[in-house]
Amino acid sequence: MNSSLNLSAQAQIIDGKATANAVLEEVKAEVEQFKAQGIAPCLAVVLVGDDPASHVYVRNKVEKAQYVGIRSLEFRLDADTDQQTLLAQIDALNRDMSVHGILVQLPLPEQINETVVLEFIDPKKDVDGFHSENVGGLSQGRDVLTPCTPTGCIRLLKDTIGENLSGLHAVVVGRSNIVGKPMAALLLKESCTVTVVHSKTKNIQALCQQADIVVAAVGRPRMLNQEYFNPNAVVIDVGINRIQENGKNRLVGDVDFEEVANHVQAISPVPGGVGPMTIAYLMKNTLTAARLQTQQI
């Protein structure tokens, strides 16, 4: 990383789309190796209900799987599906040796207990990395299946800063199970000094100002302005917030990009930053899962 002071120069814009494409090409080549050994990596996606955003996400996942040569199976269940029916579907997928990855799209309808469902997925097929066995494994620094979004963020950080993140102070803003907590665990595994700040934290701004790395995952549009960063900060914005501005729909992050972009070392934009990395790492995780189950490659 360039450690000279960066007072008002344009920050490096971290191109998540380009990096995601590079990851997909890596996956494509690895899929060929699996196929050469007679294994067809396969991802099953289960969608319950008719949440429009979830439908878009699932379609994107299936399309990307097709692109890299991963076989995909899609299961769409009605919004009023009961928990037993969903568990029976997962049980069938757990037992099916030709299925390597299982993803149940969240959120689930209210009659279904999310924890029960996620715990029911075979941990070796848990491409989301949400099963407690994988969560626990990650907290112990073991090589397990890890959540796609924070894993993608680590790749963006390494592409920007270099492979060695050791000793850097990383501040994670947000403590969700999907992003904040696994992000903190992954950064710790990289030997960063990690601070997690959240809605009850006193003086978030002062803590962020000390950071070499800031990962924002709170879901509050443009919460972090210029005052939160030192000029050498590398900023990863996980937020995807839909807002209305001047009568138009816009997607913005948790960081005020326009204001911050000239005052930090590097920043990921929204859209085009973290978003494409999530699906790319879902594909990577599907191959990791296939490897865990076949012990072939």
Q: Which residues are known to be catalytic?
A: 61, 105, 128
105 binds ligand GUN per the rule CB under 6 A: yes
Least distance to ligand GUN, CB of residue 128, Å: 5
Least distance to ligand GUN, CB of residue 229, Å: 26
Candidates 98-106, 160-168, 203-211, 255-263; binding stretch for ligand GUN (CB under 6 A): 98-106
Distance CA 49, CA 55 (A): 9
Looking at 70, 103, 144, 236, which residue binds ligand GUN (CB under 6 A)? 103
218 binds ligand GUN per the rule CB under 6 A: no
Q: How many CA atoms lie within 13 A of 123 on its CB side?
A: 11
Q: What are phi and psi for residue 96, nearest 5 degrees?
A: -75, 110
**What is the x/- site pattern for ligand GUN, positions 141-180, by CB under 6 A?**
-------xx----------------------------x--
Least distance to ligand GUN, CB of residue 57, Å: 6
CA angle, residues 143, 33, 39, in degrees to nearest 5: 85
Candidates 82-90, 101-109, 221-229, 262-270; binding stretch for ligand GUN (CB under 6 A): 101-109
Distance CA 63, CA 89 (A): 22
251 binds ligand GUN per the rule CB under 6 A: no
Quick count: other Cβ atoms within 10 Å of Cβ 55?
14
Distance CA 295, CA 132 (A): 22
Candidates 19-27, 79-87, 102-110, 135-143; binding stretch for ligand GUN (CB under 6 A): 102-110
* Joined tokens for residue 232: 């050498």
Q: Which of residues 118-147 bind ligand GUN (CB under 6 A)?
A: 128
* Joined tokens for residue 297: 């490659």
- Smaller CB distance to ligand GUN: residue 147 or 211? 147
117 binds ligand GUN per the rule CB under 6 A: no
Quick count: other Cβ atoms within 10 Å of Cβ 185?
20
Least distance to ligand GUN, CB of residue 105, Å: 5
106 binds ligand GUN per the rule CB under 6 A: yes
Q: How far is CA 181 from the centre of its chain?
A: 12
- Smaller CB distance to ligand GUN: residue 58 or 207? 58
Candidates 58-66, 100-108, 225-233, 252-260; binding stretch for ligand GUN (CB under 6 A): 100-108
Longest dimension (CA), the chain: 58
- Smaller CB distance to ligand GUN: residue 9 or 106? 106
Least distance to ligand GUN, CB of residue 126, Å: 10
Q: Is the dihedral of CA 126, 129, 132, 136 positive or negative?
A: positive
- Give one DSSP letter per residue of 231-263, joined into a string: TT-EEEE---EEEEETTEEEEE-SB-HHHHTTS
Quick count: other Cβ atoms within 10 Å of Cβ 197?
22
- Interface residues with ligand GUN (CB under 6 A)? 103-106, 128, 148-149, 178
